[in-house]
Amino acid sequence: MVHSLEEISEQLAELQERLRNEDINSLVGGGVGLDLLGLKYIKDFQPRTHEDVDLYIDISQRGRLMSLLKGMGIKIDPSSHKNPIHLIAYVNGITYDFFSVSGNEKYGFFIENASPLRALVGRQVCSLHDYTPIRFHTDIATYSENNYYVLDCLSEHNLLFNLRRSKERDIKVVKQIANIKNLELTN
């Protein structure tokens, strides 16, 4: 089932807020994250429909996340119990893909006295196929009067390049935002 950003946005804002209240930091990535960035930076940007919402969390918070979701009555896909990296949850017909990220002491897991916006900087993301290190940076986007913590343009570019299963449209959006922000993309 596909959903418009308008259909997803309110529920996503509530979910991110609930996670933040429980000290579980999350960043919106993938197509929804790109659409939120596109609306922020690109004039007359038109979001696309989405099959799911990608969220990135700290791997150390995964157990707490599962407990919280279960406590909220949210259905968790049974395959999530076997996969330490990918957790799938279903909330009112919308699929949420939670991807666990990890880091090391050199980059720091959390910056003391930092806002949730900075909490995942310097992280690595692990795909099911490899363990490619990707430095995460964050941005904040506003849509329908809600703020969303999202992967920034460079992080999205690195994910798209390293995971090698991107939509052509998403690559174009990343390049457009990078151009607007005068960012140099490598790869």
Q: Looking at the DSSP assignment, which residues form a beta bridge with residue 124?
A: 102
User: What are the residues facing 148 on neighbouring strands?
Assistant: 141
Amino acid at 90: Y
Burial of 22 (0-12, 13-18, 19+ CB in 10 A): middle
Residues of the domain holding 144:
5-180
Residue 174 belongs to a domain: yes
Q: Is 173 a member of any domain?
A: yes
| Residue 150 within a domain | yes
Tens digits of pLDDT across the chain (187 residues)? 899 999 999 999 999 999 999 999 888 988 999 999 999 999 999 999 999 999 988 878 889 999 999 999 999 999 887 777 789 999 999 999 998 776 543 333 222 222 333 334 344 443 333 444 555 678 899 999 999 999 887 777 766 765 555 678 888 898 899 899 888 776 5
Per the structure, the count of domains in the chain is: 1
For residue 125, being part of any structural domain is answered with yes
Instruction: Tell which residue, 11, 35, 10, has the closest CA to residue 167.
Output: 35
CATH of the domain at 37: 3.30.460.40
Question: From CA 84, how far away is CA 30, in angstroms rounded?
Answer: 19
Name the nearest CA neighbour of 39 among 180, 182, 183: 180
Residue 126 lies in a domain: yes
Whether 185 is covered by a domain: the verdict is no
